[in-house]
């Protein structure tokens, strides 16, 4: 599928044609990664952040965020829960928090590797190469870093940073991590053409994991307050809708048949009733149940009205396993590494 065809699908509104796209993505998912839905326990260990991403509700500039950083003991208790719930992976995510030192996280990684069968995915932002190296050496398996948009001009407006995430992704790959990336859908200023380029870039990067979700406006952020000077012809603007999210999930499956693709919380936030299930039957094969303790979960407000914010880990496990069974899929056992 070339970029023009991807672009045409993104613009498609004919529901019969879209039904064909959903079926095709579902078939390619089944043929390449099977019926297993792997569960990754998502642990949000800190909401401190040095970055000024204009879309994000926990960026450094937002004063009213009550900041937390979990202790090693609290993290280990959550790791025990993940093991008990039978998940194969822990995803450790945080704002870009240098209060989390290289050595401190290395010790936690080593503890997990020595005491559990879990795979470890990190999502710690644009940390220096030395950190990424140390954490790989300690035993981390995978790294998630969304490039957010491949449109360089738009990226500068939403994500002020001296680093190039595409270079970091290459370094992460060279270090031997499985590499995950992705984008937000419907960022103000994001055109259909740039989203088509993003999907094509998933293929060029040969991503192991692709996480996509709708951009959700947070009124406490500069982007949410319309303070960022975005100019776009309104007819070219991608809507951050549920349907557009399914299109991107389906197209990601078409261009990267073997990738692990989650049905994300941001999607479930737009359709709390069955967004997760629809993502899973339109190309996705992963779910990331939140295991963050409720008292911290409510403070990890990267966007408002996040799904599952008031649930416990056990509740999420029960709810998600029912959802997976209802659509005739099975819960994957083991680490669920990227298939070759
Ligand atoms: N500090 C890490 C983790 C960030 S949170 C990092 O920068 O990689 C993980 C993802 O949440 C981000 O990559 C972004 O794509 C998404 N996100 C942040 N704010 C959002 C918003 N307002 N709407 C939707 N998704 C958002």
Nearest atom within ligand 1 for CA of residue 182: 15
pLDDT band at 271, cuts 50/70/90? very high
Residue 144 is predicted with a pLDDT of 98
Q: Indicate yes or no: pTM above 0.95.
A: yes
Q: What domain range is 27 assigned to? A: 3-329
Rounded to the nearest whole angstrom, what is the distance from the C-alpha of residue 16 to the centroid of ligand 1?
33
d(CA 217, CA 229): 16
The mean predicted confidence, pLDDT, of the chain is 97
Query: Domain for residue 339, yes or no?
Result: no
What pLDDT score does 245 carry?
98
Does 340 fall in a domain?
no
End-to-end CA gap in the chain: 21
pLDDT in tens, 201-244: 999 999 999 999 999 999 999 999 999 999 999 999 999 999 99
Q: What is the bridge-based pairing of β-strands 36-46 and 209-210?
A: unpaired
Is the residue at 182 inside a domain?
A: yes
Strand partners, 92: 43, 122
Strand pairing of 142-144 and 178-181? parallel
Which residues have any ligand 1 atom within 6 Å of their CB? 55-56, 93, 95-96, 123, 125, 145-146, 148, 184, 213, 215-216, 218, 266, 302-303
| Residue 223 alpha carbon, nearest atom of ligand 1 | 22
Question: Could you tell me the pLDDT band of residue 298, with boundaries at 50, 70 and 90?
Answer: very high
Q: What is the share, in percent, of the chain residues with pLDDT greater than 90?
A: 99
Asked if residue 337 is part of any domain, the answer here is no
Tens digit of each residue's pLDDT (9 = 90 or more) over 116-136: 999 999 999 999 999 999 999
Number of domains in the chain: 1
Q: What is the pLDDT of residues 25-72, one digit of tens each?
A: 999 999 999 999 999 999 999 999 999 999 999 999 999 999 999 999
Question: Is position 45 within any domain?
Answer: yes
Tell whether 336 is covered by a domain. no
Q: What average pLDDT does range 82-94 have in this prediction?
A: 97
For residue 260, give the CATH number of its domain: 3.20.20.70
Compute the distance from residue 56 Cα to the ligand 1 centre, in Å: 6
Q: What is the pLDDT of residues 164-202, one digit of tens each?
A: 999 999 999 999 999 999 999 999 999 999 999 999 999
How many Å apart are CA 27 and CA 287, to the nearest integer?
Answer: 19
Strand-pairing partners, residue 144, are 180
**How far is ligand 1, taken at its centre, from the CA of residue 248, in Å?**
17
Here the tokens at position 120 are 């470890």
Long-range CB contacts for residues 134-139, cutoff 8 Å, separation at least 24:
134/102, 134/103, 134/106, 135/102, 135/105, 135/106, 135/109, 136/175, 136/176, 136/177, 137/106, 138/105, 138/106, 138/107, 138/109, 138/110, 138/113, 139/109, 139/110, 139/112, 139/113
Contact 339, 33 (CB under 8 A): yes
Distance 69 CA to ligand 1 centre (A): 18
CA gap 49, 318 in Å, rounded: 32
Q: Ligand 1 test: best mutation among 56, 148, 215, 225, most atoms within 8 Å of CB?
A: 56
Does residue 335 fall inside a structural domain?
A: no
Q: Using CA positions, which residue lies closest to atom 13 of ligand 1?
A: 146
- In the reported structure, the alpha carbon of residue 186 is separated from the centroid of ligand 1 by a whole-number distance in angstroms of 13
Q: Alpha carbon of 315 to those of 85, 318, 322, 328: distances in Å?
A: 11, 5, 11, 21
Residue closest by Cα to atom 18 of ligand 1 = 56
Report pLDDT for 314. Answer: 94
Instruction: Determine the pLDDT at residue 11.
Output: 98
In a domain, 190, yes or no: yes
What pLDDT sits at residue 12? 98
pLDDT band at 297 (very low <50, low <70, confident <90, very high): very high
| Closest ligand 1 atom, residue 214 Cα | 24
Residue of 177, 184, 265 with the most ligand 1 atoms within 8 Å of its CB, for mutation: 184
């Amino acid at each position: 599928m070339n970029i023009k065809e991807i672009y045409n699908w993104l613009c498609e509104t004919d529901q019969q044609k879209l039904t064909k796209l959903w079926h095709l993505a579902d078939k390619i998912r089944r043929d390449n990664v099977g019926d297993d839905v792997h569960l990754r326990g998502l642990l949000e260990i800190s909401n401190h952040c040095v970055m000024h991403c204009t879309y994000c509700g926990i960026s450094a500039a937002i004063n009213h965020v009550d900041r937390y950083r979990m202790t090693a003991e609290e993290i280990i208790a959550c790791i025990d829960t993940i093991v008990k719930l039978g998940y194969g992976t822990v995803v450790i995510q945080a704002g870009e928090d240098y209060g989390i030192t290289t050595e401190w996280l290395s010790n936690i990684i080593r503890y997990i590797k020595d005491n559990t069968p879990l795979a470890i995915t990190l999502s710690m932002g644009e940390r220096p190469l030395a950190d990424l190296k140390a954490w790989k050496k300690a035993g981390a398996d995978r790294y998630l870093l969304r490039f957010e948009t491949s449109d360089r001009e738009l990226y500068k407006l939403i994500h002020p940073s001296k680093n190039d995430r595409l270079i970091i992704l290459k370094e992460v790959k060279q270090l031997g991590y499985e590499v995950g990336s992705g984008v937000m859908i419907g960022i103000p200023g994001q055109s259909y053409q740039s989203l088509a380029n993003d999907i094509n870039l998933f293929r060029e990067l040969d991503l192991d994991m692709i996480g996509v979700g709708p951009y959700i406006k947070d009124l406490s952020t500069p982007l949410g307050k319309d303070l960022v000077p975005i100019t776009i012809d309104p007819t070219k603007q991608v809507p951050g809708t549920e349907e557009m999210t399914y299109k991107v999930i389906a197209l990601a499956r078409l261009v990267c048949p073997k990738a692990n693709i989650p049905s994300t919380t941001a999607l479930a936030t737009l359709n709390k009733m069955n967004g997760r299930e629809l993502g899973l039957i339109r190309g996705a094969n992963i779910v990331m149940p939140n295991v963050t303790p409720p008292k911290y979960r409510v403070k990890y407000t990267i966007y408002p009205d996040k799904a599952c914010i008031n649930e416990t880990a056990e509740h999420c496990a029960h709810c998600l396993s029912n959802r997976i069974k209802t659509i005739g899929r099975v819960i994957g056992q083991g680490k669920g590494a990227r298939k070759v």
